[in-house]
Amino acid sequence: MRVVIDTNLWVSRLLLAGSALAQAVDKALAAFEVMMSEPLVEELADVLSRKKFDRYVSVRDREEFLRRILRIATIAPVLSEVDDCRDPDDNRLLALALDSESGCILTGDRDLLLLNPWRGVRIVSPREFLNTVT
């Protein structure tokens, strides 16, 4: 199965290594094909470059974290335009899931979670992912 991971969970994985959020991301990386798109990579790079994270993780470690993700994740082209989520920024995750034929979106975003299931794609929280997705 292919899985799309929301940007906020990638950041949580970096900052909260022992948390349930991190365990869910680690499970996705170990057991599934993780999908990303160029816009999602750009968003993650932008978020990780923010100065507010300097006191938690060095710039060097954040850059290495992104490089590791890029070695593991599959970058998929996104051609679809989706307008199903209340938050327009979240539509890019839906479009990625649709175009990459992913079976699951892993997120903590309530706007996305309310859509579950969406066009045959499960949208699950980290806790639900840990407990039910196999």
**pLDDT tens track for 24-82:** 999 999 999 999 999 999 999 999 999 999 999 999 999 999 999 999 999 999 999 99
pTM for the model: 0.94
Cβ neighbours, 10 Å, residue 90: 20
Minimal CA–CA distance to 32: which of 92, 94, 97, 95? 97
For the stretch 8-31, pLDDT in tens is: 999 999 999 889 999 999 999 999
Cα–Cα distance measured from residue 55 to residue 47, given in angstroms and rounded to the nearest whole number: 14
pLDDT at 134 over 90: no
- Give the pLDDT band of residue 95 (cuts 50, 70, 90): very high
